[in-house]
Chains A and B, each alone.
Chain A
Amino acid sequence: MTTLQQPATAERRPARPPGRGNRRSWTGWGFIGPFVAVFALVFLAPIVYSIYLSLFRDQLIGGNTFVGADNYTQALQDEQFWASLGRVSLFLAVQVPIMLGIALLIALALDSGRLYGRDFFRIAIFLPYAVPAVVATLMWGFMYGTRFGLVGDINEAFGVTLPDPLSTDLVLASIGNIVTWEFVGYNMLIFYAALRVIPHSLYEAAEIDGAGQIRVITAIKLPAIRGALVIATIFSIIGSFQLFNEPSILRPLARNAITTDYTPNFYTYSLSFNGQQHNYSAAVAIIMGLITMVIAYVVQLRGMRKGA
């Protein structure tokens, strides 16, 4: 069963006398109930409805008919769908490690206490996350412009011809850059927050043992924040597979490079909003959700096991 593990620390605290407070009772529902209720309304109900929808086909001519699993078999043979999945998989393989790597390094740098102006760094690097998508478009549209934009200015100033970031070949990397820009600070903050709750006593012990900085990082800090690393990875996987905002925002500037089936999420959007194919769109979304879940589960299993 795809149960996500509890946070690492909770998991590895086995030697407790039984029944110390974690009494199995319905009391917990009193606390988690409100979340679950709203969650059921805004997530589960639409999904259940989508599953229902995915069993029908509604045509402009001919109306609504029950088609069973037809939409699913069609989706599994849909080249556009698989191509879009391939694209986000490539994106995932390249962008997520880069982004999380930078975020982790900065978090460690901040936490090491060896930076000048740490507080300034922390807020400044987090800032892009606060920029709304509409605004990010404007800014990156300018940065990428080969005529009036920064790329154009650089070309002019140095007499070079940089490749067009919005060309078919480069646009995926350009999108990756925007995503990295937006979320480095966000992930950094998660790692940093996790680093901050590491008990001081551990460092004291390490100091007594005479451990160096690198040793402290590999032996204490990384294991302690593994839960945060895994969950950040999982949410980044979900984020990559659901890539939508950035391509859709950049699209007015690169209509030919960013097709309407560029990512799975973009594809379901196009099917639903341009083509009014809500039923088929729902089927594709459900399949995509299942694939994402499986991958997230595998990563979580491996991540939690590694070096545990």
Chain B
Amino acid sequence: MSSTSSPATTASPSPSAAAPPADAAPGAPRLRTRRRQHSPGRPRRSVLLTVLTGLVLVYTLVPLVWLLISATKTQQGLADSSGLWFADEFALWDNISQTFTYNDGIFTRWLLNTLLYVVLGAGGATFLAILGGYALAKFDFPGKRGVFAVVIGAVAVPGTALAVPTFLMFSKMGLTDTPWAVIIPSLVSPFGLYLMWVFATEAIPTELLEAARIDGAGEVRTFFQVALPLLAPGIVTVLLFTTVATWNNYFLPLIMLKDPDWYPLTLGLSAWNSQAETIGGDVIFNLVITGSLLTIVPLIVAFLLLQKYWQSGLAAGSVKE
């Protein structure tokens, strides 16, 4: 059914923020929700539904609350106090400063490494997925149907068994123990490719591409000027997924990197955590916990920032062209 409506209609009802969508027009008592309100029957806020969803929320947040509380404790406090309440001493700021200064401030280095991997890895992965998804959605080319089958097939092979072969290959190419060993594998996001395929199919009216071609625009220009703006919400979603995936990447860097100077945060934290497992090792669970919290915070901030784009992006598709 969605297929019968031209994708162009997706965009047409709200060409600018000033004009309210058709379904909100009659009566329109709640102006501030008019853009979101696309469901019929003028939904009323439901306390019951909110409470039910709230249960899931509790489930997702309790472990994070533990993390937050634990980050305020010293190593001593962690051992002495119950997990879900604060210890006598509030040591969050001290823990944070220790996290950044421990071992000559290597945490900062790991943070920067992670940023590098995210910018190049997740950014690159998103870009490749956009290009690929666009091609799958809007072009007919030899081997097209095989591409995604091969992708799914390859993803189905357990990754742990491929780690050693990949390591040997990368080692031959001189890539191990360099940032490239982390970045290059991050460039592939099969799920991102699929999402972009779906989004591009839905969001880009083929007529627009045709029109651009008739106007004499080359393929590259058509892509950047016509297709890319329409893909904005999809891009934000894929960017979010690839960012998280790269940020949390652990297994492959573990195999590929030996030099701690190239560790991402996940490897660094794991190394700190396992210090407690070695003879004579310095036990620093408090820094592991604080470091974990600090690792999550940038992602939350990024999510909040992206969310803004995401929301406007959904409507913005219509503005260009």
Give A residues with C-beta under 8 Å from B: 1-4, 6-10, 12-13, 20-32, 34-36, 38-39, 41-47, 49-50, 53, 102, 106, 109-117, 119, 121-136, 138-140, 142-143, 148-150, 153, 181, 184-186, 189-190, 193-194, 196-204, 206-207, 211-213, 216, 220, 223-224, 227-228, 231, 234-235, 238, 241-242, 244-245, 264-266, 268-269, 271-273, 278, 281-282, 284-286, 288-290, 292-293, 296
Within 235-275 of B, Cβ neighbours of A (below 8 Å) are at: 237, 240-241, 244, 247-248, 250-251, 265-266, 269-270, 273
User: B140–A234 contact, CB under 8 A?
Assistant: no
Instruction: Say yes or no: A109-B13 contact (C-beta < 8 A), given A29-B141, A201-B5, A265-B158.
Output: no
User: B269–A135 contact, CB under 8 A?
Assistant: yes
Contacts of B52 in A (CB 8 A): 109
User: A242–B131 contact, CB under 8 A?
Assistant: no
User: A132–B269 contact, CB under 8 A?
Assistant: yes
User: B10–A3 contact, CB under 8 A?
Assistant: no
Nearest residue, chain B, Cβ from A41: B184
User: A35–B193 contact, CB under 8 A?
Assistant: yes
8 Å CB contact of B166 from A39, A46, A117, A135: A46
User: B67–A265 contact, CB under 8 A?
Assistant: no
User: B135–A28 contact, CB under 8 A?
Assistant: yes
Instruction: Tell me, rounded to whole Å, the shortest Cβ–Cβ distance linking A275 to chain B.
Output: 12
Contacts of B117 in A (CB 8 A): none
Contacts of A207 in B (CB 8 A): 23, 40-41
Instruction: Tell me, rounded to whole Å, the shortest Cβ–Cβ distance linking A158 to chain B.
Output: 14
User: A7–B197 contact, CB under 8 A?
Assistant: yes
Contacts of B169 in A (CB 8 A): 45-46, 49
User: A197–B57 contact, CB under 8 A?
Assistant: no
Instruction: Say yes or no: A131-B64 contact (C-beta < 8 A), given A28-B140, A115-B45, A202-B5.
Output: yes
Interface: B50 (CB within 8 A): yes
Instruction: Tell me, rounded to whole Å, the shortest Cβ–Cβ distance linking B63 to chain A.
Output: 4
12 A/B residue pairs, CB under 8 Å, sorted by A: A26-B142, A31-B135, A35-B132, A42-B185, A43-B154, A116-B45, A119-B307, A123-B304, A203-B38, A207-B40, A220-B1, A265-B160
